[in-house]
């Protein structure tokens, strides 16, 4: 029996534009997907998915999940006709868009296969396999989600050509955040198309926005290292305004961000691709985290209380 796990993730800033060379700051969260691989009778593989979910998520991703598992098996050269297996997924990470659920399942499966078949993969190789698995869900994945899921911690991630820059950010102590789910499922392909359309309509404006966002990312990194969380909050709030102007937010995300700031959050913005999914509120102490979470929950939205940088 082989076992493996992968962290969920949240992204502070920059993630919508990683494929354009813009850096992003991403953090693992303590919730994990766990995979178990066991030898089985017959041929091929079977899946038991015991992950808790937002209703409908697993059904909506079923075809992509099959393709992803097949990609991982192919890359790792595991022949399930000769070595049939049962895959069981579980763990504490909710299966929902916006928290890296697909990346965590890819990472955990790669680790469980590595464990069961004694393949001797390094963490870099596990991350590469998980990235391959992510193609089924995201078309051309940037690699930011699986990197956070695989390595953990708080990371500045950037693509420079074929090179992936992974710069660990060491903060003084874990930082509390609240993630609020808008209840709106975002279409990744539609998001990619919108970004392309923005570039085609006004290349100069688009380039200036990306330059501004890149500058904001490095300002957030410096503020995190200085433990200046009020500055971090101010920058991510301003970043959300840019994303609103670009059409990447959603009225429910805007409402939740405004509500979080009204309750005292140091800053709030959408997290993930946008047009749905989750928002993130910066709530450094337990009392503030609880009050912001309670305010969002009282409006009928699902909440995750998490820590970043741990």
CATH code for the domain in which residue 131 is found: 3.30.230.10
Do residues 142 and 19 lie in contact, with contact meaning Cβ atoms separated by under 8 Å? Answer: yes
214, 94: one domain: no
Asked whether residue 224 falls in the same domain as residue 281, the answer is yes
Contact 196, 244 (CB under 8 A): no
Domain boundary among 168, 190, 213: 168
Mean pLDDT of 285-290: 97
> In a 3-state reduction of DSSP, which class is residue 16?
helix
Distances (CA, A) of 62 to 51, 75, 136, 181, 189: 13, 20, 11, 21, 17
Q: Do residues 119 and 254 both lie within one domain?
A: no
pLDDT at 160: 86
pLDDT at 186: 64
What is the pLDDT, as a whole number, of residue 23?
95
Same-domain check for residues 157 and 183 = no
Please say if the pLDDT value at position 188 is more than 70.
Answer: no
> What CATH number is attached to the domain comprising 255?
3.30.70.890
Same domain, 10 and 149: yes
The structural domain count of the chain equals: 2
Tens digits of residue pLDDT in 159-173: 988 788 889 999 999
Clarify whether residues 43 and 160 are in a common domain: yes
Mean pLDDT lowest for which of 9-18, 42-51, 194-203, 278-287? Answer: 194-203
Contacts of 164 by beta carbon, 8 Å cutoff, 6+ apart: 143, 147, 157, 158
Give the three-state DSSP class for 152.
Answer: coil
Residue 1 in 3-state DSSP?
A: coil
Query: In this structure, are 151 and 17 located in the same domain?
Result: yes
The per-residue pLDDT for range 224-243, each reduced to its tens digit, is 999 999 999 999 999 999 99
Do both 161 and 179 map to the same domain?
no
pTM above 0.85, yes or no: yes
Which residue range forms the structural domain that includes residue 284? 175-308
**In terms of C-beta distances under 8 Å and separation of at least 24 residues, what long-range contacts does 190-196 make, across chains too?**
190/275, 191/16, 191/248, 191/273, 191/274, 191/275, 192/139, 194/246, 194/247, 194/248, 194/275, 195/16, 195/17, 195/20, 195/248
Query: 168, 203, 238: which is the final residue of a domain?
Result: 168
User: Do 179 and 286 sit in the same domain of this protein?
Assistant: yes
Q: Are residues 14 and 110 in the same domain?
A: yes
> 295 and 153, same structural domain?
no
Range with the largest mean pLDDT of 138-147, 273-282, 292-301: 292-301
275 band by pLDDT with thresholds 50, 70 and 90: confident
Looking at the predicted structure, is the pLDDT value of residue 100 above 80? yes
> CA-to-CA distance for 94 and 32, rounded, in angstroms?
9
- Mean pLDDT in the chain? 93
- Among 168, 200, 217, give the residue marking a domain's end: 168
- Distance from C-alpha of 234 to C-alpha of 61, rounded to nearest angstrom: 35
Query: Poorest-confidence range of 145-154, 209-218, 269-278, 297-306?
Result: 269-278
Provide the 10 A C-beta neighbour count for residue 152: 18
Instruction: Concatenate the DSSP letters of all residues of 100-117 into one string.
Output: THHHHHHHHHHHHHHHHT
Tell me the per-residue pLDDT of 172-185, one tens digit each, with 9 for 90 and over.
999 999 999 998 77
Sequence-distant (6+) residues with CB within 8 A of 201 are none
> Could you tell me what percent of the chain has a pLDDT over 70?
98
Same domain, yes or no, for 51 and 122?
yes
């Amino acid at each position: 029996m082989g076992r493996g796990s992968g962290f969920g993730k949240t992204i502070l800033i920059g993630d919508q534009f990683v494929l354009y060379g813009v850096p992003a700051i991403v953090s693992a969260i303590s919730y994990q997907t766990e995979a178990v691989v066991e030898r089985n009778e017959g041929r091929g593989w079977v899946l038991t998915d015991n992950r808790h979910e937002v209703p409908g998520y697993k059904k909506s991703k079923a075809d992509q999940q099959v393709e992803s598992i097949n990609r991982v098996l192919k890359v790792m050269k595991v022949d399930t006709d000769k070595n049939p297996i049962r895959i069981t997924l579980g763990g504490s990470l909710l299966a929902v868009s916006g928290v890296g659920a697909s990346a965590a399942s890819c990472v955990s499966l790669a680790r469980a296969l590595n464990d069961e078949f004694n393949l001797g993969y390094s963490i870099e190789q596990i991350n590469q396999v998980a990235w391959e698995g992510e193609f089924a869900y995201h078309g051309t994945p940037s690699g930011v989600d699986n990197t956070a899921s695989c390595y953990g911690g708080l990371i500045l991630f950037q693509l420079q050509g074929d090179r992936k820059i992974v710069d660990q950010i060491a903060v003084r102590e874990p930082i509390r955040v609240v993630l609020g789910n808008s209840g709106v499922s975002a279409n990744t392909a539609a998001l990619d198309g919108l970004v392309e359309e923005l570039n085609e309509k006004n290349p100069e404006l688009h380039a200036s926005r990306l330059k501004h966002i890149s500058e904001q990312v490095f300002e957030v990194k410096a503020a995190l290292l200085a433990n200046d969380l009020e500055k971090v909050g101010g920058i991510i709030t301003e970043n959300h305004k840019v994303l609103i102007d670009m059409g990447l937010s959603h009225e429910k995300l805007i409402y939740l961000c405004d509500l979080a700031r009204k309750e005292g959050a140091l800053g709030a913005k959408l997290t993930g691709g946008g047009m749905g999914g989750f928002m993130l509120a910066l709530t450094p102490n337990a009392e503030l985290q609880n009050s912001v979470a309670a305010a969002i929950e009282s409006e009928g939205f699902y909440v995750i209380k998490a820590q970043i940088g741990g």
